[in-house]
Amino acid sequence: MSKEISQAVISRLPRYFRYLGELRDRGVERISSQELSEIMKVTASQIRQDFNNFGGFGQQGYGYNVEYLYDEISKILGIDKKHQLIIIGTGNLGMALARYTNFSTRGFVFKGAFDSNPELYGRKIGEVTIRPVEEIEEFVKNNNIDIAVLTIPKDQATLMAERLAKCGIKAIWNFAHVDLEVPENVQVENVHLSDSLMKLSYNINRYEHMHNKK
């Protein structure tokens, strides 16, 4: 895909995928941009603009074939193929992420878990055994791992990201409280949970301020 797509459009694609999956599961075969607009609370023109970035997908006056659109967005998102993951840091958050079954239904399969605490070695998270962090490089190489999930303290995250980049990891899903800088061939998604809560707090304040003025 030679055309550069904006991050705003890309951020909406998983939501389209989720809603289309629900429509498909309900047996809906075809939907117009207007109908999809009403369900998703996104304007019909925005939907058409988003889809036009990828060729359009629909026929004028005919709408979208739900199954086809679902499959095409799956390919764009790269989840028509499986991704092999490891998780580094098996505290409460790491454990919860590794046990979240919805990932595997989307093609994200946890293959390994790693920690620096010897007391955890050999314990299981579902079918996955917790291993020493010293074994990461060999495990990544032998198991075709492409994504690493970091749920470790921020003072460890930068060095760990450097190790992961050197051993061939393609992407890092980072929950450590630091924005990682890695080589351009490694994709990073920095997830700051507290940022999301603060955004929610802002929206509470904004709503209350607006309504108290009435």
The CATH H-level superfamily of 83-194 is NAD(P)-binding Rossmann-like Domain (3.40.50.720)
| pLDDT, mean over the chain | 90
Domain ranges of the chain: 7-76, 83-194
Angle between helices 66-77 and 7-25 (to 10 degrees): 140
Report how far Cα 206 is from the mean position of its chain's Cα atoms: 29
Please say whether the structural domain 7-76 has been given the CATH code 3.40.50.920: no
Rounded mean pLDDT of 131-154?
A: 96
54-67 residue pLDDT tens: 887 766 567 899 99
106-133 residue pLDDT tens: 889 999 999 999 999 999 998 899 999 9
Determine contact, residues 101/126, Cβ cutoff 8 Å: no
Q: What type of residue is 76?
A: I
Please report the pLDDT score of residue 57 as a whole number. 79
How many helical (H) and strand (E) elements, i.e. helices and strands, does the chain have? 9, 9
Q: Which among 10, 107, 18 has a CA at the least distance from the CA of 54?
A: 10
